[in-house]
Amino acid sequence: VVQHSASIEDVARLAGVSIATVSRSLRGLPEVAPSTRARVLAAAAELDYVASPFAARLASGRTSTVGIIVPWLSRWFFAEVLGAVEAELRRASCDLLIFTVGNAEQRDAFFATLPVRKRVDSVIVVSLVLTEAERDALASLRLPIGLVGSSEPGWASVGIDDVAAAELAVNHLIALGHRRIALIGGDTDDPMRFTPPMYRRNGYLNALARAGLAADPDLEVLGYFTTAGGEAAMRTLLAQPDRPTAVFAESDEMAYGALRAARRAGLRVPEDLAIIGFDDHASAELLDLSTIRQPVVELGRRIAAAMLAAVACRDAATHAVTLPTELIVRGSTDRARSTY
């Protein structure tokens, strides 16, 4: 005989109370006599009782789970955010449901069918610029929505100031005396529409303008946010007659590719070519790459907390929070800071 695990009725019987009292005691509701609660807790412990979450969810209408939509799981930034979100939710014993939408097909499928329906009570969207249709689709859920890396009136969001951060990076290059500064970026017309490329490019252009430097379209090359793409982009840049002396890559991974291309071309970094990235990815210190650090874990923690709060109070949590970034100078832009 398969031993059926204890139900609320078993606990009620053992404690000599009704199931309503068991429910109230176990959830810590106020209107229970301390002595009763103690008896119930003891009975529950003795029977090794855990409530069935599905029964509770069905009865209460609350799902105690939040959905999170991410482009990928295995890229550093997303894995880091996800870890922070998971940790924060676990503390509130809330479940996390992950949806990866790494390509257009998955993304369209997600917004067409909205597989979160009837199974989460809030949703977090990471690093996606939403189309109007997508925004409407999410809004139709009538659930609290939290954005990481973008913002929307009426919805909670956390992010960094990508424009200002990119300016910080490019200003650093300018301060070092560079005048021909290239950009290795993402596709601002990408149908997948991630947020960073648009903003970081704007920061790049702002910094140039402010320094009175002309923006040269030849110095903007796509790196597609991959190391291989960054390498190809760098090769393209180095093939030009009037080479840049410095490069701002919109992500560290693209910067790694740029570093490699530079090394393969026999250029010294930073003497012949200065390179700065963006993220402060795990390997950036190792590769002695200057970069912009963003508080990745904090982004995840904050948005998770905001969603928990939003579900708790029906109002709440529609703030847009901007977290600070930091310029990290290493050897790829400044020989004096080199760790070698």
Partner DNA sequence: GTGAAAGCGCTAACAT
Partner DNA sequence: ATGTTAGCGCTTTCAC
Sole binder of a copy of itself in the list 19, 47, 86, 329 (CB under 8 A): 86
Contacts of 11 (CB under 8 A, 6+ apart): 19, 22, 40, 43, 44, 47, 49
What's the token pair of residue 62?
């609350």
CA dist 273 and 277 (Å) reads 13
Residues that bind DNA (CB under 7 A): 4, 7-9, 16-21, 23-24, 26-27, 31-33, 35-37, 49, 51-52, 55-56, 58-62
Nearer to a copy of itself, 98 or 209 (CB): 98
The answer to whether the beta carbons of residues 161 and 295 sit under 8 Å apart is no
Type and span of the H or E element at 77: helix 76-91
Rounded to the nearest whole angstrom, what is the least distance from the CB of residue 215 to a copy of itself in the complex?
A: 30
Across 161-314, where does the E strand assignment appear?
181-185, 220-222, 246-249, 274-276, 291-293
Applying the rule CB under 8 A, the residues between 103 and 122 that interact with a copy of itself are 115, 117-119
Type and span of the H or E element at 159 = strand 156-160
Tell me how far apart the alpha carbons of residues 91 and 208 are, in angstroms, rounded to a whole number: 45
Of the pair 17, 183, the CB lying nearest DNA is at: 17
Pure H helices in 176-322: 196-210, 227-238, 252-264, 296-312
Number of residues binding to a copy of itself, judged by CB under 8 A: 47
- Compute the least distance from the CB of residue 87 to DNA, in Å: 24
Q: Give the whole-angstrom CA distance, residue 26 versus residue 51.
A: 9
x/- map, 268-297, a copy of itself, by CB under 8 A = --------------xx--xx----------
Residue 80: which of a copy of itself, DNA, none does it interact with, CB under 5 to 8 A by kind?
A: a copy of itself
Q: Which does 23 bind (CB under 5 to 8 A by kind): DNA, a copy of itself, none?
A: DNA
Pick between residue 35 and residue 339 the one whose CB is nearest to a copy of itself: 339
Q: Tell me: does residue 237 bind a copy of itself (CB under 8 A).
A: no
The owner of tokens 């951060």 is 165
Residue 40 and residue 33: Cα distance in Å, rounded? 11
Would you say 51 or 265 has its CB closer to DNA? 51
Nearest-approach distance from CB 52 to a copy of itself, in angstroms = 5
Site string for a copy of itself, 300-339 (x = CB under 8 A): ---------------------------------------x
